[in-house]
Amino acid sequence: MNNKNLFVIIVLLFAINAYSQNYSGPRWIAQVYVDLNASNKSSYEYYDLDNKARETSINGKGSLELVYNIDYKIFRKFAAVGIAGIANYNNPSFASLKTGLGFKLLYVDNKYHYLTLQYGYLTPFNKSDFREGHQIKIGQVFDVANLFNQRLLIGLYYTNDFFYMENSEPLISNASRSFSLNASSFGISLGMKFQ
């Protein structure tokens, strides 16, 4: 079987599966999360005093995020996500606004358990911290309990943040100017799903 036939079969199976998902519940679902991220690895690229490109690792101390998600259920088990939030990073210390998009694969019918892939665009509060940033988040969230007539959600994530740091203050003393910072982290999330 050639690749063209395989592609046509996959598209047809997806269309049949999508058509068979007759979803009659609420289409829009909102959640608020507090994410605690512990740094795993940080790589800082800079130019030294001799104007040579260098790379070093720095000891990041994680981040704290307050995030609002609005989901639109496209199918019974698939949702598109709009994201807005505030992120506060430690070592280096800076804060940013986060906006983004994502997808959720809901795999249990009666609970809001899902796998997610999200992209966030980071805008700094202070342009001397960094020019702009990008975040990729992959995670798993569990719907665990009813709290104050809302659903309590607990999640586990892997996050990768990339910051363009041209024209920002150098993070180490032997740097003449910064280029970029790439940080990965693992995190836990505590959230509320509004019904």
Tens of pLDDT, residues 85-118: 999 988 778 889 999 999 999 988 878 899 999 9
In words, the CATH class of domain 25-194 is: mainly beta
CB atoms within 10 A of CB 177: 14
**Domain range list for the chain:** 25-194
Tens of pLDDT, residues 125-149: 887 777 888 999 999 999 888 888 8
For 186, the token pair is 């693992």
**Helix/strand/coil for 127:** coil
